[in-house]
Structures are given as structure tokens and as C-alpha cells.
């Protein structure tokens, strides 16, 4: 059987010596859309960041494989070059470099080849149009002065331009109004179609999932993966919340 | 000719152990010829004369009076560029210093914009990459009522050059002086800019970007003196220090009595890339007037962890991110130059500079 | 408000009647050394104090250094200070007491007015009270002494069999006489001050306080404070000072040397309220070992001229320094204050927060240095200074310097200068508050980050001082 694209095996993570994730195991196949849900403080963002190798977190035990390669101890940029991507919950401002120049540089880094300007600009314009982003943003310093919604769009724009095999979307819908959520959803759908990309969507509300097809849903409570189900689990959470899972965990804790 | 003096003195002194009150300048120049700049074709409304007068003493310059002495001793050639009243000069005037190995160049410039005029002057200094020599320049700006002068100085000199770049300006009512500086080359660079704002609603803006690498040293002194009411200044200095380079930045905003309603803002961003660098910064605000608002901020250090992680997630390695940010700093100031050719030269220089990393 | 001749008078002086009382110092009750500064005078002083031989030699050597060093070529003008007109040693003819009722009446009254015995009863673990050049009172609570805490006047410590050696080893090693001219002066004519030793792991739940009162006219006070906080210990030390106003110069050139041991914690709070004829040329320095923390809290309200920059030397990994200060310069005052943070080890951190207010022709200069040595990798320093100008006769300068010798350091700095925001005043007035009250509130609010770090009585005192200063500024 072909290996999964992403394999997380018994991963335990801590930050500043405090444990936050306990023995998490999951796998994501090529092209699949997984959703990671859980109450606030469950460790969802931690898992996303750990997959990406954020040095702020310590992997106490376990391993992570990406496309058959053991990336457990690989640096973040290496993971990105292998085809992983993280869309941030609170994207930083990076003054001094324009959105366009940054994406072009990142593309150049990834492929190692010189990026043909004309095609690149065409692709960029098309992607920005899809996301209802005004063209002028391309020449603005990366995220500087962007509103919350515009920053999230800038993340999805990068997703579409960098074309990774696997994208982790960390609370992409938080702080967005209805229209923005719809637009961002459109961008994600486009990524799914165009790339047949795998997705791990981290969220604690379900607005963004409404128009997406979800293959698997995972519930994280207090750092433990308490349940895995299919797309219907999302509706269950919508109807009943996380209480049943919290109570179960509370008893054990 | 021998030099043993000090330049770039602070308007108000502080502890001597910091060795930041002034910069010692010791050097010698074997003065053979005196390379003068090539002047581009003059647009309409601009006159150019060469005079051997010394420039108006009432305009103070950033490096201080010792620079006057150096230029007097070396019989610096002086030229005067004037934009006539009301003329909005469309194309920049370019003074191009094409220096060779062993060149010595001591020049003065006076740039005048009469009432309502608008002129951009670009002074760029280039030489072969491995060349050495001596280049000193003193530029005084006089902006008339409602006039605007945009002075751009781009330094791309060879690795053994000694470079002294002195600027001073004054403004009439509602005038604007805008100074853009790029310091990339040379072995030892001294840059001083002094802007006087004596007239109502006059303004000064300064954007400087630099890259100090290898054994380069860069010593800067920027001073803005507000005496007129409702005057404003904005100073922004950004750059990167790597290898064993050393950089000193002194930035002073001086609100003198009577300048009520004035504002000043000074920002410094410095990226440090290697353990042997030396950075000295002293952003001063002197204030003798109640009705003003002054601010300064400085941020000095490595690439932030969070910025680095963000870059990493896009597949950009630490080294590539450092280069990207260094170039971005220069690029953001280079973008203010209305001359594609010069921007290209700057980019080429940056490309070369990072090639051997 | 208009049409009335309200408090239009500009208040030129803080209403310091609270501090401005003074007592005659008659010859029979006081010994006063000849004014001036010569080897003979220093020798006489040393005799009066019955110094051990090494100290006498130290004093004379310091005097030599004083004569060789030059005055600073930066900072406020101190040409009004004439050492030949200052009596460097004035001693009340009384022995140091351990009980207030044995302290001579006038002196006791002084400290009563300043609230010291009261504070001691209520909230202090120990008190040292210095009047002119000598300690008149020193006491430490029994339970504190039992834990091995030593808090005595400096002279006793110097001559004691148990601590004499320690004092000899540490005295003026952190602030050396050749550091600057007034450190040398201090080395020559120091007198009084306290010695504190807190043993390993001991946490004092109440602060120790030393109060310095300079009552004599045309005299100097040169107390020496040496505090050693051993590994893991915790101490809050409060220093207060004041003097009545005279129309001749008085000089204060004290010295504070603080040693903070491994993982120890020391908070050093000062309210400096010298009179406006005082030249305050003080030197304070702390040396912080691995994991130790020094917190400085400093309020400068008085003196004619001040040079005051507490320095923190972070010599051990993860050592930390915090400085929170406020300076209020009024008419006739030129206060040059700030701090120095010296990072000499990896992972050290410093935070410098200052506020300064100038009014009525006062001059306030904020002067700082952040120095990060080559091996101080992983260090962080942040500086924030805000200045408020209350009128156009005053002056406020900010002179911060940073020297960084490694790339692995994170330094952030911000400074703001301006006046009371008209919008803020309007906002408060729209809620029914008078303009004068609104301005006072804004200035108090401005000072709040510092006042909330001070012991309560001082915070109250500081707010009162601000309110008094603000009266009549319209």
C-alpha cells in the first residue's frame, strides 16, 4: 500500500518544559482534506506548528514522516522545500519586502531556478483576482498595514502561488467577516482542485468548512487526540459542541 | 597631505568612555589630480556654474567645520546648480563621479532652488570594485519659499576607498529638503547631514540605507535643528552590518526655543548578522520648546525568530532570509531614486556583494 | 474660570515647608571641620573618625586622584560648586543610638517630622538615620537579626572583627576612586552610610531603610552604602534623603555599592528630595551574579544640580536589571539622570523605563548607556523614556547611547517627548473636571508607572509633590 503523505506517530510535544501534546498519531493521504478541531487551548496550533518544525516547541517523543521521508528533526525551510506549507493564524508584518518580491523569492528558493517574470506576474494577478485582492497589494510591503482579512488572503495567495503538496491552515477563518470567509474558502477550493493538495484545516468554528469536502475530522482535547471520524463529525460538533469529549477527557485528567 | 582631526561631533556630549562623541579621522591622500563629476545634460530652467568661492558659511553641515578645513586645504572645486523660480524640473540632474584606482576627488556643490522650484539632483560615486582612493564631497542646499530639493547620494566605491560625504541645508517658508543616501562601498565612510529648519512650515526628510561588510566602517552624524514654527522632520536609517564591520549612527533632533507646533521622528533599524560586528547608536532629542512632539525608535539585532520562522515556512533558509532582508532594506530606499539605471547599478552591487556568501 | 484672578502665580519652588525646617548647630553640640579640601583636612577627618590605618591611606590616595582628574566636559555646569567653601565633615556630638528616646531632641524632632520612627514601627525591618556626617540611630528588628541579617552603620562594620575584613575587601572595588572625580572625592571624605549583609536564602519580608538628612549649612554629605545579598536571598532597601534649603551650596557625593549574589534579588528604592541649593553628584553601581536580579526604583525631585546614573553590571548568565525612574525638574534645577546597563554575560536582560517632567525653567536630561559585550550572547535590552514639558521655559534632553558588540542581541529603544495632550485635557474636562485638576491628573498618570513601584508612603508623597508643583501652572 502506498504510504500516506503525512504520518504522525506517537508525537508528544512540550513548550518551556510544559507538555502540550500527548502521544498524537494520525495520517493524511495525498489529496485528502483533514479537519482538526477542539476547544480553545487544546493544542491544535501546537500540532500545526510542530508539523512545520517551529523551534519554539520541543518534540519530546515520536516521529513525523512526509512523503516517506523522516522529517522529525529537519529544519522548517527544508520541510517547506519538500512540499509543506503553513498558513499562519496571525501573519507577521515584514517591512522592506513587497508581497510580490517575497513570493517570487520564495518560488526561486523552492525551484532553484530563475522565475520568469512575465508568467509569474500573470499567475499572481489571476490568483489575486480569485481572492478579490486589489492588485496594489502586490507592491505593498508584506502584510504591513494589512487588515486581518487581507493578511489571511495574503497567506492563501502564497498557498496558491507556492503550490505545496500539503498545507496546514491554522485558524484561517478567525477574525474574518462572512464575505472574507467565502473568498478564502474559494481560494482553498482552488488549491484542492489545482494541486490535488492535502490539507489540514485547524479551526474551532466551522464556517470555513461549509463549502469544502472533508475526508476526516480529528478532535483534540487537552493535547490528546480523542476522536477521529469522517466529515459528519463536523456537523456533530456544530450541533453538540465539544462537551462530550471534554467530559470524557476531564475524567481521565 | 596628512589629516589628523575629528568629524561628526554630537551637538551635546556624553560619557567619554563610550567614544561616541565624535569620530577621529586620520588619513593621508596623495593629491595628484582632482576628479570632478560628469554633469548630465541640464534640463531647462537649471543653470550650472563653476565657481571657486567657498560655500555659504551660514549653512552648517553634518560633519562639522573640520570638513571645511579639509576642503579648503585641498582647494576643492565648487559648482553651483540653480533651479529658477517656479521651475518644476522634470528630469533629475546627475553628477556622476567615475573614479579610478588612486583617484582623489575633493569637491563642493551648492544647490539652490528658488521660490516655487522643484529639483532632483543625483550624485553617484563609482569606481572599480578593488580600487582605492580618496573621495570627499560637501553639498549645501538652499530651498527657497515653497521650493523642493531632492538630493540623492549613492556611494558604490571600491573596497579601499576613503569617503567623506558632508551635507547641509536650510529652508525658506514651506520648503522641503529630502535627502536620500545609499552607502554600500568604500573601506571607511563618514557621512554627515545637518538640516536647518528656520522657517515656518519647512520640512526635512531623510532616508538612508547601508550595508557594512568585511572590514568596512561607516560613521554617521545627522542633525536637524528646528527653529521655525510648525516645522517637521522625518529621519529613517536602515541597514545591515556583517562580518567584522563597524557602524556608528548619531541622529539628533534639536527643538530650539520658538519652534512651537513642530514635530520630529527618527527611526533606526539595524540588522546584525555576525558575532564580530560593532554597532553604536545614539538617537538624541534636545528640546527647549513645550509645544512640540518628538519621537525616536531604534530596533537593533538579528533577524527576529518569528520573521525567520515565517520565512522558513516558505522554504527560505536563514541565510537566504538574511540576504533577502538586507537587500529589502536597501531596495526600499533605492525605490526613492527616479533613475532606473542607478537602481540597477545598486541591485547589481548587492548581487555581487552577496554572491560570495 | 475667566475673569477671576485665580492662582495665576507661577509656583517657583515646591512647597517644601515640610522639609524646610532646620536646627541651629551650635559648637557645643556639633563638631564641624574646617571647610576646604587639603591633605591636612582629610587627615583630621580620618582622626576624628578613628579610621584604621588602611582607610587613612585610602583617603589620602583618593584625594591625590581627585586632584588629578578633571571635571566632566559634558553635563550641567558645576562651576558654582567651590570645594574650598564646603565643610566635608559635620558631626553631632552624640553617640549612635539604638532607641529613639536617647537621640538628642532636635535631631529626633527632625526624623519625627519626616515620619521615620513612625514608619519603622509600622512597616520596616530596620532603620538607619544619618544626620549630617554620622549615623545617629540604627536599629534592626530582633527576628531579622536572628536570621543572620547584618544591618549596621558603616563605621561599626569597618571596625568590627567579624565584618571588617569583608568591608576591606569590598570597599570601593565596584566604584573605584579613579572612576571619576567625585568618586575620588567620596573616597577621600566619605562618612556614614550603612553596611548590609543578607545571608544565603534569607528573605526579608519588610524593607530596611536608611534616611540621610543634611541639616548643616555649606556642608557635604558623603555616605557610603555597601549591600551584599548572598545567594538566593531577597531584600528591599529604601533610601531617603532631604535637606532644608540654604542660599549657599551644599554637596552630596554619596556612593552605593550593591552586590547581588547568584539567584538573589535586591530592590533598591530611592526618593531623592534634596533642597534646591544642593549639588547631587551621586554614584550607584550594582554587580549582579548568575540568575540574580536588581530592581532600581528612583524618584528625583530635589537638588539644584544632579548627576545620577545607577549602573548595573550583569556579570552572570541570566542576570537581570530593571530600572524605573522619574525625574521632576523645576525652577532653578538642572537634573541630569538616567542609568547604565552593562551586559557582560550571556542571556542577560535589562529594562529601562524613565519618565521626566520639566517645568518652570527646569532642565531635565535623560542620559543612558546600554552596553552589550561580545560574549553577552542572547541578551535583551529595552529602553523606554518619556519626557513631558509643561511650559516653554523648561528644557528636556534625551541622550541615550547603545553599544553592541555581538549580533546575538536584541535591543529595542523608544523615546517620546511632548506636552500634555490637549485632547486628553478636553476629555477630562468634558467629564466635569477642572482644567487644573485635569492637568494634575494627567501628570500623575504619567508618573504612575514609577509611583506604583514605590512604598506606599513615598508614592503618596510623590503624588503630593506633583500636585503641589502643578498648582498655579496655568
How large is the ipTM? 0.89
The Cα–Cα gap between A9 and A26 comes to 7
B129 neighbors B158 (Cβ within 8 angstroms): yes
Question: C417 vs B292: CB contact, 8 Å cut-off?
Answer: yes
Condensed to tens digits (0 to 9), the pLDDT of residues C106-118 reads: 888 888 877 788 7
Is residue B316 situated within a structural domain? no
Nearest to B312 among A77, A94, A158 (CB): A77
User: What is the domain range of residue B236?
Assistant: 30-303
Is residue B77 situated within a structural domain? yes
How confident is the model over B14-34, as a mean pLDDT? 89
Nearest to A92 among B310, B317, B329 (CB): B310
Against chain A, the chains showing at least 3 CB pairs within 8 Å are B
Nearest residue on chain A to B331, alpha-carbon basis: A96
Is residue B2 situated within a structural domain? no
Question: B313 vs A80: CB contact, 8 Å cut-off?
Answer: yes
> What CA dihedral angle connects C272, C278, C281 and C287, to 10 degrees?
-20
The Cα–Cα gap between C187 and C176 comes to 8
Nearest to B315 among A88, A92, A110 (CB): A110
How far is B287 from chain C, CA to nearest CA, in Å? 5
How confident is the model over C294-316, as a mean pLDDT? 94
Of the listed ranges A210-219, C242-251, C296-305, the least confidently predicted one is C242-251
Is residue B256 situated within a structural domain? yes
Predicted pLDDT at B252: 96
- Domains of chain B: total: 1
Question: B306 vs A81: CB contact, 8 Å cut-off?
Answer: no
Is residue B61 situated within a structural domain? yes
The Cα–Cα gap between B232 and B224 comes to 10
The reply to whether A53 touches chain B by the CB within 8 Å rule is yes
Question: B276 vs C374: CB contact, 8 Å cut-off?
Answer: yes
Quote the longest CA-to-CA distance of chain B.
60
How far is C37 from chain B, CA to nearest CA, in Å? 26
Of the listed ranges B67-71, B221-225, B252-256, the least confidently predicted one is B67-71
Q: Which residues contact C105 (CB under 8 A, 6 or more apart)?
A: none
Chain A with chain B: Cβ pairs closer than 8 A: 69
Strand partners, C314: C288, C343
Is residue B326 situated within a structural domain? no
pTM of the model: 0.86
The Cα–Cα gap between A164 and C207 comes to 61
Predicted pLDDT at C215: 81
Question: B295 vs C74: CB contact, 8 Å cut-off?
Answer: no
Neighbours of C433 (CB within 10 A): 15
How confident is the prediction along chain A (253 residues), in pLDDT tens digits per residue?
457 899 999 999 999 889 999 999 999 999 999 999 998 888 999 999 999 998 889 999 999 999 999 999 998 888 888 999 999 988 888 776 789 988 888 888 777 778 888 899 999 999 999 999 999 999 898 888 999 889 999 999 999 999 999 999 999 888 888 888 888 889 998 998 888 889 999 987 777 787 788 899 999 999 999 989 988 888 888 788 888 877 665 544 4
C173 neighbors C273 (Cβ within 8 angstroms): no
Question: B316 vs A109: CB contact, 8 Å cut-off?
Answer: yes
Is residue B286 situated within a structural domain? yes
Is residue B16 situated within a structural domain? no
Condensed to tens digits (0 to 9), the pLDDT of residues B293-340 reads: 999 999 999 988 888 999 999 999 999 999 999 998 998 899 899 999
Q: Quick one: pLDDT band at residue C144, thresholds 50, 70, 90?
A: confident
Burial (CB count within 10 angstroms: exposed 0-12, middle 13-18, buried 19+), residue B44: exposed
DSSP 8-state assignment for residue B43: P
B155 neighbors B186 (Cβ within 8 angstroms): yes
The reply to whether A110 touches chain B by the CB within 8 Å rule is yes
E strand spans, A171-241: 198-202, 216-221, 224-229
How far is A161 from chain B, CA to nearest CA, in Å? 11
Amino acid at each position: 500500500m502506498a504510504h500516506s503523505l503525512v504520518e504522525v506517530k506517537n508525537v508528544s510535544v512540550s513548550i518551556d518544559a510544559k507538555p502540550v501534546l500527548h502521544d498524537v498519531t494520525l495520517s493524511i493521504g495525498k489529496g485528502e482534506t483533514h479537519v482538526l478541531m477542539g476547544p480553545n487551548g487544546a493544542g491544535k496550533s501546537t500540532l500545526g506548528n510542530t508539523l512545520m518544525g517551529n523551534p519554539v516547541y520541543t518534540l519530546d517523543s515520536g516521529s513525523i514522516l512526509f512523503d516517506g521521508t523522516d522529517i522529525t528533526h529537519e529544519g522548517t525551510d527544508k520541510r517547506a522545500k519538500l512540499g509543506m506549507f503553513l498558513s499562519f493564524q496571525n501573519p507577521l508584518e515584514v517591512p522592506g519586502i513587497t508581497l510580490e518580491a517575497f513570493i517570487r523569492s520564495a518560488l526561486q528558493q523552492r525551484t532553484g531556478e530563475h522565475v520568469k517574470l512575465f508568467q509569474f506576474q500573470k499567475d499572481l494577478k489571476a490568483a489575486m483576482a480569485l481572492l478579490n485582492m486589489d492588485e496594489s497589494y502586490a507592491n505593498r510591503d508584506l502584510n504591513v498595514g494589512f487588515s486581518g482579512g487581507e493578511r489571511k488572503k495574503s497567506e492563501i495567495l502564497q498557498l496558491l502561488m507556492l503550490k505545496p503538496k500539503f498545507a496546514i491552515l491554522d485558524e484561517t477563518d478567525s477574525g474574518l467577516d462572512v464575505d472574507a470567509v467565502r473568498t478564502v474558502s474559494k481560494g482553498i477550493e482552488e488549491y484542492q482542485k489545482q494541486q490535488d493538495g492535502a490539507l489540514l484545516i485547524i479551526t474551532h468554528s466551522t464556517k470555513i468548512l461549509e463549502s469544502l469536502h472533508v475526508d476526516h475530522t480529528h478532535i483534540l482535547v487537552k493535547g490528546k487526540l480523542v476522536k477521529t471520524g469522517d466529515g459528519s463529525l463536523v456537523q456533530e460538533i456544530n450541533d453538540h459542541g465539544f462537551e462530550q469529549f471534554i467530559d470524557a477527557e476531564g475524567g481521565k485528567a | 597631505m596628512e589629516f589628523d582631526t575629528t568629524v561628526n561631533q554630537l551637538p551635546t556630549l556624553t560619557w567619554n568612555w563610550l567614544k561616541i562623541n565624535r569620530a577621529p579621522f586620520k588619513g593621508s591622500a596623495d593629491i595628484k589630480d582632482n576628479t570632478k563629476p560628469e554633469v548630465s545634460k541640464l534640463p531647462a530652467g537649471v543653470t550650472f556654474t563653476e565657481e571657486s568661492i567657498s560655500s555659504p558659511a551660514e549653512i552648517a553641515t553634518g560633519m562639522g567645520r573640520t570638513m571645511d578645513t579639509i576642503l579648503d586645504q585641498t582647494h576643492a572645486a565648487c559648482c553651483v546648480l540653480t533651479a529658477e523660480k517656479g521651475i518644476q524640473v522634470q528630469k533629475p540632474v546627475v553628477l556622476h563621479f567615475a573614479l579610478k584606482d588612486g583617484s582623489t576627488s575633493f569637491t563642493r556643490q551648492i544647490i539652490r532652488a528658488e521660490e516655487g522650484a522643484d529639483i532632483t539632483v543625483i550624485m553617484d560615486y563609482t569606481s572599480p570594485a578593488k580600487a582605492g582612493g580618496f573621495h570627499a564631497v560637501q553639498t549645501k542646499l538652499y530651498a527657497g519659499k515653497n521650493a523642493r530639493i531632492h538630493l540623492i547620494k549613492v556611494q558604490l566605491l571600491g573596497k579601499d576607498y576613503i569617503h567623506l560625504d558632508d551635507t547641509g541645508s536650510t529652508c525658506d517658508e514651506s520648503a522641503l529638503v529630502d535627502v536620500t543616501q545609499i552607502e554600500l562601498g568604500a573601506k571607511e565612510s563618514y557621512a554627515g547631514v545637518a538640516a536647518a529648519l528656520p522657517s515656518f512650515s519647512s520640512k526635512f526628510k531623510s532616508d538612508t540605507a547601508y550595508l557594512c561588510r568585511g572590514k568596512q566602517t561607516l560613521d554617521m552624524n545627522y542633525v536637524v535643528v528646528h527653529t521655525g514654527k510648525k516645522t517637521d522632520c522625518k529621519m529613517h536609517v536602515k541597514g545591515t552590518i556583517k562580518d567584522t564591520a563597524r557602524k556608528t549612527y548619531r541622529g539628533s533632533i534639536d527643538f530650539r526655543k520658538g519652534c512651537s507646533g513642530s514635530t520630529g521622528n527618527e527611526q533606526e533599524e539595524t540588522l546584525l548578522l555576525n558575532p564580530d560586528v560593532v554597532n553604536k547608536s545614539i538617537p538624541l532629542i534636545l528640546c527647549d520648546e513645550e509645544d512640540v512632539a518628538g519621537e525616536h525608535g531604534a530596533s537593533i539585532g538579528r533577524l527576529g525568530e518569528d520573521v525567520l520562522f515565517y520565512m522558513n515556512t516558505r522554504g527560505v533558509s536563514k541565510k537566504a532570509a538574511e540576504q533577502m532582508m538586507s537587500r529589502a532594506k536597501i531596495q526600499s530606499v533605492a525605490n526613492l531614486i527616479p533613475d532606473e539605471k542607478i537602481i540597477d547599478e545598486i541591485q547589481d552591487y548587492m548581487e555581487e556583494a552577496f554572491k560570495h556568501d | 474660570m475667566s475673569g477671576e484672578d485665580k492662582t495665576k502665580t507661577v509656583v517657583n519652588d515646591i512647597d517644601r515647608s515640610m522639609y524646610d525646617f532646620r536646627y541651629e548647630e551650635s559648637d557645643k553640640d556639633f563638631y564641624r571641620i574646617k571647610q576646604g579640601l587639603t591633605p591636612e583636612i582629610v587627615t583630621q577627618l580620618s582622626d576624628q573618625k578613628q579610621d584604621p590605618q588602611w582607610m587613612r591611606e585610602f583617603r589620602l590616595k583618593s584625594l591625590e586622584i581627585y586632584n588629578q582628574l578633571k571635571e566632566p566636559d559634558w553635563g550641567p555646569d558645576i562651576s558654582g560648586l567651590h570645594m574650598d567653601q564646603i565643610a566635608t565633615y559635620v558631626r553631632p556630638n552624640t553617640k549612635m543610638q539604638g532607641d529613639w528616646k536617647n537621640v538628642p531632641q532636635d535631631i529626633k524632632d527632625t526624623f519625627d517630622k519626616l515620619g521615620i520612627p513612625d514608619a519603622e514601627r509600622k512597616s520596616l525591618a530596620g532603620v538607619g538615620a544619618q544626620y549630617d556626617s554620622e549615623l545617629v540611630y540604627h536599629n534592626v528588628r530582633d527576628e531579622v537579626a536572628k536570621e543572620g541579617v547584618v544591618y549596621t552603620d558603616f563605621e561599626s562594620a569597618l571596625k568590627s572583627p567579624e565584618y571588617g575584613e569583608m568591608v576591606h575587601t569590598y570597599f570601593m572595588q565596584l566604584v573605584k576612586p579613579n572612576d571619576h572625580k567625585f568618586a575620588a572625592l567620596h573616597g577621600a571624605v566619605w562618612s556614614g552610610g550603612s553596611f548590609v549583609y543578607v545571608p544565603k536564602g534569607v528573605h526579608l519580608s519588610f524593607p530596611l531603610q536608611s534616611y540621610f538628612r543634611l541639616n548643616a549649612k555649606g556642608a557635604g554629605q558623603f555616605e557610603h552604602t555597601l549591600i551584599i545579598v548572598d545567594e538566593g536571598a531577597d531584600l528591599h532597601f529604601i533610601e531617603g534623603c532631604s535637606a532644608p534649603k540654604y542660599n549657599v551650596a551644599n554637596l552630596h557625593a554619596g556612593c552605593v555599592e550593591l552586590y547581588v549574589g547568584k539567584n538573589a534579588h535586591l530592590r533598591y528604592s530611592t526618593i531623592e528630595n534634596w533642597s534646591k541649593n544642593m549639588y547631587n553628584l551621586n554614584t550607584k553601581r550594582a554587580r549582579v551574579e548568575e540568575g540574580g536580579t536588581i530592581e532600581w526604583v528612583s524618584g528625583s525631585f530635589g537638588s539644584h544640580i544632579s548627576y545620577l546614573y545607577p549602573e548595573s553590571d550583569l556579570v552572570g548568565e541570566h542576570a537581570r536589571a530593571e530600572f524605573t525612574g522619574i525625574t521632576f525638574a523645576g525652577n532653578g534645577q538642572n537634573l541630569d539622570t538616567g542609568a547604565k546597563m552593562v551586559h557582560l554575560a550571556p542571556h542577560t536582560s535589562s529594562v529601562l523605563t524613565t519618565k521626566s517632567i520639566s517645568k518652570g525653567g527646569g532642565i531635565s536630561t535623560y542620559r543612558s548607556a546600554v552596553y552589550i559585550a561580545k560574549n553577552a550572547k542572547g541578551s535583551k535590552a529595552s529602553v523606554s523614556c518619556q519626557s513631558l514639558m509643561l511650559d516653554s521655559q523648561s528644557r528636556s534632553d534625551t541622550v541615550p547611547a547603545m553599544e553592541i558588540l555581538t549580533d546575538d542581541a536584541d535591543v529595542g529603544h523608544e523615546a517620546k517627548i511632548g506636552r500634555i495632550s490637549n485632547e486628553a485635557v478636553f476629555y477630562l474636562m468634558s467629564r466635569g473636571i477642572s482644567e487644573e485638576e485635569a492637568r494634575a491628573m494627567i501628570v500623575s498618570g504619567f508618573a504612575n508607572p514609577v509611583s506604583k513601584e514605590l512604598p506606599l508612603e513615598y508614592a503618596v508623597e510623590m503624588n503630593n509633590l506633583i500636585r503641589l508643583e502643578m498648582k498655579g501652572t496655568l
